[in-house]
Structure 1
Amino acid sequence: MKSTHTPRPPDHPDASAAGARIEVSGLTKRYLTPKGETFTAIRDVTVAVEAGQFCSIVGPTGCGKSTTLAQVSGLEHPSAGSVSVGGNLVEGITSGVSYMFQADALFPWKSVLSNIMMGPVLLGMPKRQATDLARDWLRRVGLAGFEDRYPHQLSGGMRKRVAMAAALINNPRILLMDEPFGALDVQTKAIMQNELLKLWEELRPSVLFITHDLDEAVALSDRVVIMTSSPGSVKDVFDIDLPRPRGNVQEIRHEERFLELQGRIWESLKDEVTRAYALTAGAA
């Protein structure tokens, strides 16, 4: 597979270092409710993401998708089971991980440039070098000339470009994305999906991508994992054999193979969505 490489500053880490296998085995997470009762968010989740693979997780609201990401990142500890990254058991904050959330995780009092360069600076990169690297990433996400703007001065799509640059500037081995484009309009969402694919093809981190948009999951991914209604567990795993590179997600969605895969995955997903809706409707 041929990728298009954008020139980097001399000291930028080589992309060949990116990508690590993620192995989730028998993962269970329980919480205590405010009433002191035990709530099981996920139960016996087992799934593997190969190094450099793009894997999406879909499932009904409240099935534990975000909880699963939190265990992989090391931000939370499992009640049972284990997570390993690159063959190493996750027992604390996982090194080489970047996290991109649905809500903008930008510092409103910092400029666009300062937001993007923060990661390298915190990792010990000299400020001048971090500034050059951040300017390069601004160019790569189409925001050259916006260095001195603040997040509130940008559109939603532009803020997502800043967040993506901030997530990728450290050349992460693992990229965790929790519905990053869920709040965008349809046109901007399609642009951001294409931008993400272009940058992922270049750097090839292992990606765990949460979405409620089944079309998005199929268009972006090598693998789609279906989770059951709460407590979440893995119901099905579908390998997506659409050829790469995938230049335009809008065009992919009209292809016969895409429609076939989307239909098969929906057949597995719809029962879980219906079950979850019935449970919440009953609770109301």
Structure 2
Amino acid sequence: MGDNPIRPPAAREGADEAARIEIAGLAKRYLTPKGETFTAIRDVTLTIEPGQFCSIVGPTGCGKSTTLAQVSGLERPSAGSVKVGGHIVDGITNGVSYMFQADALFPWKSVLSNVMMGPILVGTPKREATELARDWLRRVGLAGFEDRYPHQLSGGMRKRVAMAAALINNPRILLMDEPFGALDVQTKAIMQNELLQLWEELRPSVLFITHDLDEAVALSDRVVIMTSSPGSVKDVFDIDLPRPRGNVQQIRHEERFLELQEQIWESLKDEVTRAYARTAGAA
């Protein structure tokens, strides 16, 4: 990995404050096609500390992605608030990068051009943006693929491009919505290791959505369990596995990992069962 310049203490403190996410009493309601009100989430209260890696897990339809959308500013809450760096989120938040499950790459642009987009949009001169994009492609193992197009890459390679594009502007906050959900097991493990390496280097605050409990425990400092719909915070577990965590596959065999996984599953399984019963009954 490349070296980042060491920031003075005052600069680090200011950046730390800017990376705190405070969610208070958050609710989001939608109108259904029948004109009825559907509550996706209610009374979600959660704080993600600066530089913390926090995963949210819960049954399908519990509002995990909805919560992420409120933090990003892509949607506005029906009630409650989200603060980033002490400021209410009332639109797209600066310094926040979003990595989706689906490839969010421009298919008509080369790999290099896709990764350059972030710096260009914040006013970086083209030559500097090009050099920065080349460096990030090297960091994610794609040196030599700069002139390829997304359709010419494997799924794992496209995820690496997306990760480089999400991190190139050194975001203070990284929002990830099941970014590795569609990958095969082997590629997923590689991407998890690469994500941890890059996160250790940059230390953005991360809010990570996943259905994979093992993934959540292996990557995170905290794991948040959401209830079945409407979603709210049921439990929060601190993950005390030591860092750095070099290999997620090895971590999953450690005794402490297995203990944490079992504790969290005890909380999660009731919500999964309720969600399944509700959908099965509706069918």
TM-score range, shorter chain: over 0.9
Q: Supply the distance in 1 between the matched residues of 2:282 and 2:127 (Cα, whole angstroms).
A: 56
**Residue aligned with 2:51, SS:** coil
Q: Is the 8 A contact 1:27 1:44 kept in 2?
A: yes
* Residue number in structure 2 paired with 1:248: 247
Q: Is the 8 A contact 1:219 1:252 kept in 2?
A: yes
* Residue number in structure 2 paired with 1:12: none
> Is the counterpart of residue 22 in structure 1 residue 18 in structure 2?
no
Q: 1:171: Cα distance to partner? A: 0.4
1:241 corresponds to which letter in structure 2? D
Q: Is the 8 A contact 1:43 1:232 kept in 2?
A: yes
| CA deviation profile, 1:78-98 (whole Å, cap 9, x unmatched) | 000000011111111111000
* Residue number in structure 2 paired with 1:227: 226
2:3 corresponds to which letter in structure 1? P
What TM-score comes out, normalization by structure 1 length?
0.95
Q: 1:123: Cα distance to partner? A: 0.6
* 1:51-62 equivalence runs, <5 A: 51-62=50-61
* Unmatched runs of 5 consecutive residues or more in structure 1: 10-14
* Residue number in structure 1 paired with 2:180: 181
1:173 corresponds to which letter in structure 2? R
* Residue number in structure 2 paired with 1:133: 132
* 1:181-200 equivalence runs, <5 A: 181-200=180-199
* 1:102-141 equivalence runs, <5 A: 102-141=101-140
**Residue aligned with 1:109, SS:** coil
CA-atom RMSD, angstroms?
1.2
* Residue number in structure 1 paired with 2:202: 203
Q: 1:210: Cα distance to partner? A: 0.2
1:82 corresponds to which letter in structure 2? S
> Is the counterpart of residue 79 in structure 1 residue 78 in structure 2?
yes
| CA deviation profile, 1:48-101 (whole Å, cap 9, x unmatched) | 100000000000000000000000000100000000011111111111000000
| CA deviation profile, 1:192-223 (whole Å, cap 9, x unmatched) | 00000000000000000000000000000000
**Residue aligned with 1:41, SS:** strand
Q: Supply the distance in 2 between the matched residues of 1:197 and 1:8 (Cα, whole angstroms).
A: 16
2:255 corresponds to which letter in structure 1? E
Q: Supply the distance in 1 between the matched residues of 2:4 and 2:201 (Cα, whole angstroms).
A: 12
Q: Is the 8 A contact 1:8 1:136 kept in 2?
A: no
Q: 1:115: Cα distance to partner? A: 0.1
Q: 1:7: Cα distance to partner? A: 3.4
Q: Supply the distance in 1 between the matched residues of 2:102 and 2:275 (Cα, whole angstroms).
A: 24
Q: Supply the distance in 2 between the matched residues of 1:7 and 1:168 (Cα, whole angstroms).
A: 14
| CA deviation profile, 1:149-180 (whole Å, cap 9, x unmatched) | 00000000000000000000010011000000
> Is the counterpart of residue 38 in structure 1 residue 37 in structure 2?
yes
Q: Supply the distance in 2 between the matched residues of 1:57 and 1:106 (Cα, whole angstroms).
A: 25
Identity %: 89
Q: Supply the distance in 1 between the matched residues of 2:165 and 2:4 (Cα, whole angstroms).
A: 15
* Residue number in structure 2 paired with 1:7: 3
**Residue aligned with 1:31, SS:** strand
1:267 corresponds to which letter in structure 2? E
**Residue aligned with 1:225, SS:** strand
Moved more, 89-98 or 155-164: 89-98
Q: Supply the distance in 1 between the matched residues of 2:4 and 2:277 (Cα, whole angstroms).
A: 51
Q: 1:8: Cα distance to partner? A: 5.9
The count of residues paired between Structure 1 and Structure 2 equals: 275
What TM-score comes out, normalization by structure 2 length?
0.95
**Residue aligned with 2:257, SS:** helix
Q: Supply the distance in 1 between the matched residues of 2:2 and 2:109 (Cα, whole angstroms).
A: 27
